[in-house]
A and B are shown apart, each in its own frame.
Chain A
Amino acid sequence: MTNVPADLKYAKSHEWVRVSGDTATIGITDHAQQELTDVVFVELPGVGRQVKAGEACAVVESVKTASDIYSPLSGQVLEANKAVVDNPALVNSEPYGAGWFFKITLSQPAELSSLLSAEEYRAQIGQ
């Protein structure tokens, strides 16, 4: 069983979102990191970059595969997590904590309603 915290929102493409005011923190789910296994490299968007919901803006690489990470929401990149670039294994060990990817300032807060609840995401991954 994977961990799907109830207080987060989810994208079908396996990113999670934690919203605080007009800021959203984005990472990949426990299910996603288990599927990837052994994250060895993370590439994040530059601070200041405008991203659209659904846009590929980060890359996570395991030993075997490279995967695009999509921003679940539109906005401007406020911060990228340097710790996860220096230590990609954080994505595996703390996917909802120290393994977060980037933060954006939301430009279209209404998009939040299109994200999945924990329950809906759990159903999507068959749990």
Chain B
Amino acid sequence: MGTTHVDNPPPAATNSTSTMLKRTPLFAAHQRLGGKLIEFGGWEMPVQYSSILDEHLCVRRAAGAFDISHMGEVLVRGPAAESFLNQTLTNDARKLAVGQGQYTLLCNERGGTIDDLYAYRIEPAEYLLIINAARIDADRSWLEQRRAAFGAPDNVAVLDVSERTAAVAVQGPRVAEFIDSCFPTASVGGTDVVRVTDLKKNQIARFDFEGATIWIARTGYTGEDGFEIVAPAERVESIWNRLLAAGHPYCLQPSGLGARDTLRTEMGYPLYGHELDENTTPIEAGLGFFVAFDKGDFTGRSVLAEQKAKGVSRRCVAFKMTDKSAPPRPHYPIWSAGANGKKIGAVVSGTQSPSLGIGIGMGYVPPESAKAGTGVEIEIRGLRSPAVVVTKPIYKKAV
């Protein structure tokens, strides 16, 4: 047996050993839980504890807990924080009341994507950015560069607090049944709520936890209801243990990056390094909804506006295999359907959908092939298998 394809981002170092990889404060907990550890973006992280399929279905049906401490946290604060972020990120930070978050993107001057992230307004003049693990250095240096070029650099500070901050995501339809028991007091900042489950989607609130300040947001990246908890590194194991204990009667399982990836792929959510990179714009990626053109100038705006007006040469689409086939994988060629089919693009994310039991994925194709219902073919080890372009999410929950 030999691995022909592993769907992981390239290692941070070519000969990385476990001693060179970074570990989260939950590393020992993952080992105790029997987590299978892999390299992900320079971090040693659990890809699964029991099985990707199990954990995936558990999140769809009940609840799963994920260590997301590898992700970065950046605070942007100061009287000019809002205007700085509005000139630096694609979405409109003015729309955020204190205690609200939004998905947004950080672009370069060519409109290419430096990172995709969540921005929360946690104080009138302070924002918390949750960024991708593998992009922490790139984001920090780009934000610092933009700050230096900003009209009032002294009125905004950019603080990377990733090292001392940890985070867990707890996701699934049953999470709301037990999370209040883990954090039994009212919020002390952000959105004013009596209990955690009073938070609405995309809201965030500050809570006291064992004498420390933590943030809980009703957000996630699985397509299920759920919460993300951002806490000081030294507190996260206590939070993790409390969640696992309280969630146990509700079938909560610790869940790894494998399930996190299949869950987000079923939803058609991008993963940096797959759907997004510095040469790919949010418009090409189908994320125009998160680009606010009516807020004034921002980095990359002219390129994005032109693409929006004149169209793009390639577009990220979601697809489903229509016959039984091997799972599609990143880099597999996409062909137009039929005897005269041509190679029109490539897969960027692909897997077997645990919820649907068929191959699914995302890939870039010319706009004329991007319409839902368009038949395409995915080349898998030299043979083409039929697929169809579908709207996102690929997996739609039965209502």
Chain A residues at the B interface, C-beta cutoff of 8 Å:
13-15, 28, 32, 36-38, 40-41, 43, 56, 59-70
Name the CB-closest residue of A to B324: A41
Q: How far is the CB of A64 from chain B (nearest CB, A)?
A: 6
Measured CB to CB, the nearest residue on chain B to A43 is: B326
Q: Is A41 touching B2 in the complex (CB atoms < 8 A)?
A: no
Q: C-beta contact mask, B242-272 vs A, less than 8 Å → 1, else 0?
A: 0000000000000000100110000000000
The reply to whether the CB of B239 lies closer than 8 angstroms to some CB of chain A is no
Q: How far is the CB of B61 from chain A (nearest CB, A)?
A: 17
- In the bound complex, what is the Cα–Cα distance between A63 and B48 (angstroms)? 11
Residues of B within 8 A of A40 (CB): 53, 327, 352
Q: From A40, which residue of chain B is reached at the shortest CB distance?
A: B352
Kindly report which residue of chain B lies nearest to residue A31, judged by CB atoms.
B1
Residues of B within 8 A of A64 (CB): 6-7, 47, 52, 258, 261, 351
Q: What are 12 A-B contacts defined by CB distance under 8 Å?
A: A13-B1, A40-B352, A41-B327, A43-B326, A59-B4, A59-B381, A64-B47, A64-B351, A66-B3, A67-B1, A67-B2, A70-B2
B301 at the interface (CB under 8 A from A): no
Mask, B317-345, CB within 8 Å of A = 1, is 00000000111010000000000000000
Considering only CB atoms and an 8 Å cut-off, how many residues of chain B contact the other chain?
Answer: 25
Known contacts A37-B51, A38-B51, A65-B6; is-contact A70 B326 (Cβ 8 Å): no
| B354: Cβ under 8 A from any A Cβ | yes
Q: Give the complex CA separation of A67 and B1 in angstroms.
A: 6
Residue in B1, B6, B53 whose CB lies within 8 Å of A70: B1
> Which residue of A has the minimal Cβ distance to B1?
A14
**Which residues of A lie under 8 Å from residue B1 when comparing CB positions?**
13-15, 28, 32, 36, 60, 67-70
B2 and A37: CB pair below 8 A? no
Q: Which residues of B contact A59 (CB under 8 A)?
A: 4, 326, 381
Does B310 count as interface, using CB distance less than 8 angstroms?
no
Are B2 and A56 interface neighbours, CB within 8 A?
yes
Tell me, rounded to whole Å, the shortest Cβ–Cβ distance linking A123 to chain B: 18
- Contact status A63-B2, CB under 8 Å: no
Contact B7 A13 (CB under 8 A): no
Query: What are the interface flags for B1-24 relative to A under an 8 Å C-beta threshold, 1 for contact and 0 otherwise?
Result: 111111100000000000000000
Q: Which residue of A lies closest to B351 (CB)?
A: A63
**Do B326 and A63 have beta carbons less than 8 Å apart?**
no
B348: shortest Cβ distance to chain A, in Å?
16
One of B6, B52, B261, B325 near A38 (C-beta < 8 A): B52
- Given A41-B352, A43-B326, residue A66 in contact with residue B5 (CB < 8 A): yes
The complex places the Cα of A64 from the Cα of B5 at a distance, in Å, of: 9
A67 touches which of B3, B7, B36, B325 (Cβ 8 Å): B3
Instruction: Indicate if the CB atoms of B352 and A65 lie closer than 8 Å.
Output: no
CB–CB A13/B53 < 8 A: no
What's the minimum C-beta distance from B389 to chain A, rounded to whole angstroms? 22
Which residues does chain B contribute within 8 Å of A13, judged by CB atoms? 1-2
Instruction: Kindly state the separation between the CA atoms of A14 and B327 in the bound complex, as whole angstroms.
Output: 22
A61 with B352, Cβ < 8 A, contacts A15-B1, A56-B2, A68-B4 known: yes
CB < 8 Å: which of B52, B258, B327, B354 contacts A61? Answer: B327
Chain B residues, CB < 8 A from A38: 51-53
Closest to A37 in B: B51
CA distance A68 to B4 in the complex (A): 6
Assess the B2–A65 pair: CB atoms within 8 A: no
A65 near B51 with CB under 8 A, answer no
List of A residues within 8 angstroms of B53 by Cβ: 38, 40, 63
Q: What separation, in Å, do the CA atoms of A32 and B1 have in the docked complex?
A: 8
Q: How far is the CA of A126 from the CA of B52 in the complex (A)?
A: 25
Rounded to whole angstroms, the CA-CA distance of A38 and B351 in the bound complex is 12
